[in-house]
């Protein structure tokens, strides 16, 4: 069977639109609430990225940091995250889930044990922010054996030669970082120049799906809708923080936001 | 796992940057791969370039003030009544600590690469102060990331940075200490690596930063070797080199030149921060057997929980208050070339009192940790043994803490 991630891209393509990928932090602001958010936004999102919170994140901006610290403070552990995924999959068997985080969490869990747990709980892909190519070669192979996509990150600083090598080794989905920034930065380059870089990447292997992320919000998402997929993370984390601050229900507010995001790329 | 002879330790990492096959590496976001590779290429070329070496030596001599003194602590030796106690007074260096070496080299590299901005992290404030000095000297704009807790407790250095024209950016995340300052600095670099050079303040971070810092601070042991030969005619038969270890930059630099000597002749003793004696928290991952993990781009022994979240540390000395430790020291520990132990906050304060009572030397709280262990061990040794403590920082920055903990009379200027 094809990985649900590929199926989700196919479905979006059939509908002549970009796939919408959301990012929320597991355990933000509580285990139950993060599960409720996943369930609720899965109506509109095509692929759900679930952040594994880490307390020394070297690539995340303030919004995701706030969410991560909140989740850690509320006691989230690695095993809880697998439980959230498993619980979610009970009612959403085919909705793809990607875990995104930092390598130390996998390293401490044990690579093999981690991947087994991914399999039994229903994780379909992994993004490991600080495990670049070629350091990730062995681990990516292990993922492949378990039918889990290891998603390679590509950046504006990645040289053409390096892009070719990474994409040659990559699984069917890649993630293009739109600009030099941590997550949640203001879009400091024009959507056109992002798409230009994106097109160059696509040329290397048109069959591989490429999602664009970093700096994508309600305002900018429409201008990038010709991509295979678009990731919104910090804007969602910000919505959770805002809801908590105003004593509103994050589940409702985040769902509304995701619906709106979806409408912009239809 | 083995140390090779006749090859500098900084060059003993494998192709992926791992010492002993497992410490160090480059666990970095994709965006940083290219800038790191560029820096590696530049550094590998320049470290063998005669003109560059001459330039470095010129600045070390004329501006940093090489060599720093190597002195016998006669009164302390008599008081302790065992081995001879000497000190390499690295705090003589311009700015008052060893951090000047790494800062100078990073600014020289930044100039060569055409960068106009440089950023750095700081704990005790020394790395930041020195980077701000060097940046000013070489005409670079400078931003320093510093934990809010450290800003509060190391004001003299904060003032110095600002005076040098650097922007000090307070970091409020996590424990608001060095670990968070390094994370924030790396995040800033991720977003600005096209225009900005980064200086990591110790022998930590992605492999190239470990190497550059170790290469820079090795000036300390290069000087010491000459001074030892001047003083004793040769490197003494029984030599013990004590140094505090936070990230590990001063200790590595203090030991590097003696790496190939048998450890029976030249023993290395690293003293980590044990934290308050009544607290379970510490900053001594080597002493207390922390597990290997990944922090700031490198695999190392690091204080962490079972899940891999980095644990908060506690130490009276901001400069040692770091949950991880240089991959170089992990390698030295596992190959048994160096021995590591810890001193508590109270031990360091008491050593500071002893040293300042007998000598005209005011080691900051960081080297006071090393003095504590050196004094204890020197007692049991005989006069043939030469104990040397690297006094790598000056206590001026610790005035407020010393006043509070020991009373006013301990903060009178020398």
- Kindly state the helix (H) or strand (E) to which residue B320 belongs, with its residue range: none
Do the bridges between strand B292-295 and strand B298-301 make them parallel or antiparallel, or are there none, so unpaired? antiparallel
Which of A107, A159, A185 is nearest residue B294 as measured by Cβ atoms? A107
Give residue B157's pLDDT band: very low, low, confident or very high (50, 70, 90).
very high
Reported ipTM: 0.97
- Which residues 118-147 of chain A have a CB within 8 Å of chain B? 129-135
B161: closest CA among B113, B105, B116, B103?
A: B103
- If you count them, how many residues does chain A have? 266
Q: Cβ(B221)–Cβ(B253) under 8 Å?
A: yes
CB pair distance less than 8 Å for A158 and B33: yes
In percent, how much of chain B has pLDDT > 90? 95
The pLDDT of residue B414: 46
DSSP secondary structure of B14-29 = -TTSEETTTEE-----
Spatial separation of the C-alpha atoms in residues A124 and A50, rounded to whole Å: 11
Three-state DSSP at B72 gives strand
CB pair distance less than 8 Å for B307 and A162: no
Chain A interface includes B8 (CB < 8 A): no
β partners of residue B167: B143
The pLDDT of residue B274: 97
Stretch B239-266: mean pLDDT: 98
CB pair distance less than 8 Å for B25 and A162: no
The fold of A4-265 is TIM Barrel (3.20.20)
Q: Within 13 Å and on the Cβ side, how many CA atoms surround B337? A: 22
Pick among A52, A56, A59, A105 to test the B interface (most B CBs inside 10 A): A56
pLDDT score of B410 more than 90: no
Q: Cβ(B343)–Cβ(B273) under 8 Å?
A: yes
The pLDDT of residue B21: 97
Chain B interface includes A211 (CB < 8 A): no
CB pair distance less than 8 Å for B25 and A182: no
- If you count them, how many residues does chain B have? 414
Residue B206 tokens read as: 């992605």
The pLDDT of residue A186: 86
Instruction: Give B183's contacts in chain A (Cβ within 8 Å).
Output: 56-58
The pLDDT of residue A239: 97
Catalytically annotated residues of A = 49, 60
Chain A interface includes B173 (CB < 8 A): yes
Q: Give per-residue burial for B212-245: e unless 16+ CB within 10 Å, then b.
A: bbbbbbbbbbebbeebbeeeeeebbebbbbbbbb
Judged by average pLDDT, the poorest of A147-151, B203-207, B393-397 is B393-397
In percent, how much of chain B has pLDDT > 70? 99
Give residue B413's pLDDT band: very low, low, confident or very high (50, 70, 90).
low
Number of neighbouring beta carbons within 10 Å of residue A10: 13
Q: Cβ(A17)–Cβ(A226) under 8 Å?
A: no
Pick among B294, B303, B305 to test the A interface (most A CBs inside 10 A): B294
Q: CATH number for the B66-96+217-411 domain, one of 3.30.565.10, 3.40.50.1980, 3.40.50.1100, 3.40.50.300?
A: 3.40.50.1100
Instruction: Give B32's contacts in chain A (Cβ within 8 Å).
Output: 157
pTM for this prediction = 0.97
Three-state DSSP at A207 gives coil
| Mean pLDDT score of chain B | 96
Low pLDDT (below 70) residues in chain A: none
Helix, strand, coil percentages for chain A (3-state, nearest 5): 50, 15, 35
CATH 3.40.50.1100 in chain B: give the residue spans.
18-60+98-214, 66-96+217-411
Spatial separation of the C-alpha atoms in residues B270 and B283, rounded to whole Å: 13
Chain B interface includes A72 (CB < 8 A): yes
Which of A57, A135, A180 is nearest residue B191 as measured by Cβ atoms? A180
Judged by average pLDDT, the poorest of B132-136, B166-170, B404-408 is B404-408
Residue A237 tokens read as: 């984390």
β partners of residue B85: B387
A237, B71, B275, B288 from A60: Cα distances, Å:
12, 48, 30, 31
Stretch B237-256: mean pLDDT: 98
Judged by average pLDDT, the poorest of A73-87, A180-194, B19-33, B42-56 is A180-194
Q: Where are the domains of chain A?
A: 4-265
CB pair distance less than 8 Å for B307 and A154: no
CB pair distance less than 8 Å for A182 and B191: yes
pLDDT score of B124 more than 90: no
β partners of residue B271: B244, B341
Pick among B27, B28, B30 to test the A interface (most A CBs inside 10 A): B30
Residue B328 tokens read as: 């170089």
Spatial separation of the C-alpha atoms in residues B125 and B153, rounded to whole Å: 10
Spatial separation of the C-alpha atoms in residues B20 and B335, rounded to whole Å: 9
Which strands sit side by side in the sheet containing B266-275, from one edge to the other? Answer: B69-72, B84-89, B386-390, B239-244, B266-275, B338-344
The fold of B18-60+98-214 is Rossmann fold (3.40.50)
CB pair distance less than 8 Å for B16 and A135: yes
Residue B52 tokens read as: 């560059």
Stretch B362-369: mean pLDDT: 97
Handedness of CA B246, B249, B252, B255 (dihedral sign): negative
Chain A interface includes B118 (CB < 8 A): no
Three-state DSSP at A253 gives helix
CB pair distance less than 8 Å for A130 and B35: no
Which strands sit side by side in the sheet containing B167-171, from one edge to the other? Answer: B167-171, B141-147, B117-122, B196-199
Which of B186, B291, B294 is nearest residue A103 as measured by Cβ atoms? B294
């Amino acid at each position: 069977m094809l990985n649900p991630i590929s199926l989700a891209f196919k479905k979006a393509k059939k509908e002549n639109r970009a796939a919408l990928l959301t990012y929320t932090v597991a355990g933000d602001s509580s285990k139950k609430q993060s599960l409720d958010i996943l369930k609720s936004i899965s109506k509109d999102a095509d692929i759900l990225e679930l952040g594994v919170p880490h307390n020394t994140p070297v690539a995340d901006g303030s919004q995701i940091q706030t969410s991560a610290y909140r989740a850690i403070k509320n006691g989230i552990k690695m095993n809880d995250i697998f439980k959230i995924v498993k619980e979610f999959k009970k009612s959403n068997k085919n909705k793809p889930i990607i875990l995104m985080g930092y390598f130390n969490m996998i390293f401490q869990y044990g690579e093999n044990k981690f991947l087994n747990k991914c399999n039994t709980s229903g994780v379909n892909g992994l993004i490991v922010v600080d495990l670049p190519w070629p350091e990730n070669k062995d681990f990516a192979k292990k993922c492949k054996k378990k039918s889990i996509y290891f998603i390679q990150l590509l950046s504006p600083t990645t040289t053409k030669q390096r892009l070719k090598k990474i994409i040659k080794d990559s699984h069917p989905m890649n993630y293009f970082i739109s600009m030099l920034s941590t997550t949640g930065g203001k879009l400091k380059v024009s959507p056109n120049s992002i798409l230009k870089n994106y097109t160059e990447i696509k040329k290397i292997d048109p069959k591989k799906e490429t999602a664009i992320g970093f700096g994508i919000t309600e305002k900018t998402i429409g201008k990038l809708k010709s991509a295979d997929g678009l990731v919104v993370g910090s804007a969602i984390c910000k919505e959770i923080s805002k809801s908590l601050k105003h004593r509103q229900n994050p589940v409702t507010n985040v769902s509304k936001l995701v619906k709106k995001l979806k409408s912009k790329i239809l | 796992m083995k140390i090779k002879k006749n090859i500098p330790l900084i060059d003993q990492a494998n192709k992926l940057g791992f010492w002993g096959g497992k410490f160090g590496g480059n666990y970095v976001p994709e965006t940083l791969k290219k800038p790191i590779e560029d820096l590696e290429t530049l550094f590998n070329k320049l470290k063998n370039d005669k003109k560059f070496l001459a330039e470095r030596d010129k600045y070390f001599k004329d501006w940093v003030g090489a060599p720093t003194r190597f002195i016998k602590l006669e009164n302390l030796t008599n008081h302790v009544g065992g081995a001879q106690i000497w000190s390499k007074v690295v705090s003589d260096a311009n700015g008052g600590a060893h951090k000047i070496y790494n800062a100078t080299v990073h600014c020289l590299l930044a100039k060569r690469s055409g960068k106009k901005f440089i950023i750095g992290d700081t704990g005790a404030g020394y790395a930041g102060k020195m980077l701000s000095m060097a940046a000013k000297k070489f005409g670079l704009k400078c931003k320093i990331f510093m934990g809010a807790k450290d800003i509060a407790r190391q004001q003299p250095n904060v003032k110095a940075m600002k005076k040098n024209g650097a922007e000090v950016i307070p970091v409020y995340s996590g424990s608001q200490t060095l670990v968070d300052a390094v994370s924030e600095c790396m995040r800033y670099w991720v977003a600005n690596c096209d225009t900005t050079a980064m200086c990591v303040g110790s022998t930590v971070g992605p492999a190239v930063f470990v190497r550059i810092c170790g290469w820079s601070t090795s000036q300390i042991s290069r000087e010491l070797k000459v001074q030892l030969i001047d003083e004793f005619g040769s490197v003494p038969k029984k030599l013990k080199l004590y140094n505090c270890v936070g990230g590990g930059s001063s200790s590595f630099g203090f030991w590097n030149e003696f790496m190939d000597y048998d450890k029976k002749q030249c023993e290395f003793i690293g003293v980590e921060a044990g934290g308050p004696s009544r607290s379970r928290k510490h900053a001594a991952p080597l002493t207390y057997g922390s597990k290997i993990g990944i922090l700031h781009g490198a695999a190392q022994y690091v204080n962490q929980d079972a899940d891999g979240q980095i644990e908060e540390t506690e130490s009276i000395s901001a400069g040692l208050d770091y949950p991880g430790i240089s991959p170089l020291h992990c390698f030295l520990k596992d190959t048994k070339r160096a021995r590591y132990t810890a001193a508590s906050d109270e031990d360091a304060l008491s050593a500071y009192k002893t040293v300042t009572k007998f000598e005209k030397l005011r080691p900051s709280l960081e080297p006071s940790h090393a003095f504590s262990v050196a004094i204890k061990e020197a007692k049991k040794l005989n006069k043939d043994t030469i104990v040397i403590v690297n006094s790598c920082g000056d206590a001026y920055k610790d005035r407020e803490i010393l006043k509070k903990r020991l009373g006013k009379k301990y903060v009178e200027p020398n």
